[in-house]
Structure 1
Amino acid sequence: MKKRQGTIFLITFIFFLSLMPTTFSKASELNFSVNAVIPDNQIDKEKSYFDLKVTPGEKQKLKVKLRNTTDKEIVINPHIQSAKTNKNGVIDYTPNKIKKDDTLKIAMEDVAKVPEEVTVPPQSEKDLTIEVTVPKDKFDGVILGGIYLKEDTSKNKEEDKENDVAIKNEYSYVVALQMRQNDNKVKPMLHMNEVNPETQNARNVIVANIQNSEPMIISKLKIDATVNKKGSKDNLAILKKENLQVAPNSNFNIAVPLEGEKLEAGTYILNMKAESAGKEWQFKKEFSISADKATTMNEKDVTLEKETPTMLYIFLGVAFLIVIAVVIYFIIRRNKRK
């Protein structure tokens, strides 16, 4: 029997821009739970994530309580992660392969440090200490990231393998960590970088890279986009998105689906309007698609009706004529014998 090993991640956000209060979990299936210990320099002590007012060069120790809700000792692996934006327009605090944006001057990984692992005895609590060193240089805006906490299940996996366990559930938490030095307002700024045609999930899309170049969160972002062939007013693709969120100094790729429209070689134009908190940005970008690129992408798109090659029609026609000729030949031959 071929084993299947699935991994289900339950990501609990203590911070999600507005408010998602999190205390110790009551769900019995979770092996551990977390609770941020709010320090004196917390901006809003009603929040259950870290939102700190810091001073240049300051050093601070933050605490997160870890509770082991099982009868076995567990090991938790902490990880500090800068906030990034994923392709769905959601701020991501988990370890990922998203590249760091060029405008990010201060990464959370450089500011906060955690031990590689924390061992928590059965049915007990233990503090995780986060060592914070604020940069000596002054900065406006925010530094945003998260403390990612995941149980080390490597030993359990070996036991599961021996016991022929096919599916193993793994759980993780993220405690958000935000820092600022002052209340100076930062002007929001969005940019549209490169635009390229791609095939995603066997469907053709036009991908635009959107960048937030400032140290502030852009929330409730609304995007309207269209794709046209140059010189034509007909929309080949339309995209409408709302309530997107963009992490400070980050970029993400947003896909405009072609919805079954066949790509042809030529020059195209992507028009996009982005709106957030009364601010509006207008973008327009030309891009080209070669004949080879269009053919390759159309062949991969499962929503397109595939054309039957002309040579196949010719072959079928010739084969049909041959069959008819053979039938006529035998009919004539049989009649002559009579």
Structure 2
Amino acid sequence: MIKKIATTLTLLILSLISISSVYADDKLSSYSVSPQYSTHQSKGVENFFDIKWTPSSKENFSVKITNNTDEEQTYKIEVNKARTNKNGIVDYSDDTPEANEAKYKLTEMIDISKEVKVPANSSENVSGSLTFPKEDFNGLLMAGIHVSEKKTKDSESNVSNSVAYNIPFVIRGNEDKRPDPVLNLKKVTVEKFTSDTYSVDALLENKGPNLMKEVMFHSNVMNEQGQTVFSQESQLDITPETEFVYPVTLPETIKSGEYTLVLSVKRDDSNNWEFSKEFEITKQDEKNIKQVNPYKQSYLKTYGFVFAIVSIFLIAVVVYLLKNKK
């Protein structure tokens, strides 16, 4: 009897996995995007554009979009600045304009069609160009070619998991020496992070054209008595000339009061930053943090109870099988 139940459950799980896999593959294969490089693409670099700055020149490239469906499809093409998002991931989907103070805006240097129609079961090469200013450049610029299916009004009103493709676009300065990175802490606020958590958000700015990879963040939140209430460590990549938020997740037990965020940032032995900024958790913040998901504790209790029952059942099955074997 037990063997039959186990076999049935196994077959059910495998069938569900198979259905999910087919659905996912079908969604992902509805279209594909690949880069067609310029003549000055860096050797050995694949899957994204990597071009050295060449003053007063023009680079031609293209993006190949393949429509694998049986109907004509329209695709949107955007050139977006690369940004480190709140989850610590390099994001190419944010279409916010580049900062006015940026000397060179890669999103304005790249020219490509904003929309293209691709016939059924066909491919289309969308031509683009990159125009360099006449000056030399010391640093690194990052953007991304963001391609997505253009939705009709009817499809936009429905919830759907549409697939978007991002092709990073990296420009390396023609001067070998890179400028020293400059990192600033602009402000600290208490914000909602996810559906059931709040965080202390440190708004930082990477002012220079530097990509800082594998940067270590260590944060301490300290109370008025100078005691560390909680700590957090993370590692992330910081995109050039970017404002980004580093969130420090708040525990549900946090009380209202005055606090200090002490943030240590380490890129390498020669690039370290130490920041300290005071912030307040108000009575309303404390209330929001505790009530952000009033059902969370009941969910945890329910799942804990179910897990305990299942564990006891599995232990009983193992004991039963061992006894029968003996």
Any conservation in 1 of the 2:83–2:94 contact (CA below 8 Å)?
no
Q: Distance in 1 between matches of 2:237 and 2:101?
A: 17
The alignment status of 1:141 with 2:135, answered yes or no, reads no
Q: Distance in 2 between matches of 1:187 and 1:251?
A: 17
| CA root-mean-square deviation | 2.6
Match of 1:170, SS state, is coil
For residues 28 and 257 of structure 1, do their structure 2 counterparts lie closer, same or farther at Cα, with a shift above 3 Å needed? closer
1:199 Cα deviation after fit? 4.1
- Give the corresponding residue for 1:64: 63
1:269 Cα deviation after fit? 2.1
**Gap runs ≥5 in structure 2:** 1-23, 295-326
Any conservation in 2 of the 1:212–1:248 contact (CA below 8 Å)?
yes
Q: Distance in 1 between matches of 2:26 and 2:92?
A: 25
Deviations 1:15-41 (A, max 9, x none): xxxxxxxxxxx9443321111112220
For residues 51 and 263 of structure 1, do their structure 2 counterparts lie closer, same or farther at Cα, with a shift above 3 Å needed? same
For residues 250 and 100 of structure 1, do their structure 2 counterparts lie closer, same or farther at Cα, with a shift above 3 Å needed? same
- Which structure has the greater CA radius of gyration? 1
- Give the corresponding residue for 2:274: 283
Q: Distance in 1 between matches of 2:47 and 2:77?
A: 18
Deviations 1:271-293 (A, max 9, x none): 1111124344232323243xxx6
Q: Which amino acid aligns with 1:181?
A: G
Any conservation in 2 of the 1:204–1:298 contact (CA below 8 Å)?
no
The alignment status of 1:294 with 2:310, answered yes or no, reads no
The alignment status of 1:218 with 2:212, answered yes or no, reads yes
Any conservation in 2 of the 1:55–1:134 contact (CA below 8 Å)?
yes
Matched positions, count? 267
Q: Which amino acid aligns with 1:144?
A: M
1:173 Cα deviation after fit? 0.5
1:204 Cα deviation after fit? 4.2
For residues 93 and 199 of structure 1, do their structure 2 counterparts lie closer, same or farther at Cα, with a shift above 3 Å needed? closer
Deviations 1:161-215 (A, max 9, x none): 8xxxx65332110111111231322323322221223344454432211221111
**Gap runs ≥5 in structure 1:** 1-25, 307-338
Identity of aligned residues (%): 22
- Give the corresponding residue for 1:41: 40
1:90 Cα deviation after fit? 1.5
Any conservation in 1 of the 2:210–2:240 contact (CA below 8 Å)?
yes
- Give the corresponding residue for 2:90: 91
Higher relative contact order structure (alpha carbons within 8 Å, sequence separation ≥ 6) = 1
Q: Distance in 2 between matches of 1:102 and 1:275?
A: 28
Match of 1:169, SS state, is coil
- Give the corresponding residue for 2:237: 245
For residues 128 and 227 of structure 1, do their structure 2 counterparts lie closer, same or farther at Cα, with a shift above 3 Å needed? same
For residues 210 and 302 of structure 1, do their structure 2 counterparts lie closer, same or farther at Cα, with a shift above 3 Å needed? same
* Structure-2-length-normalised TM-score: 0.74
- Richer in helix (by share): 2
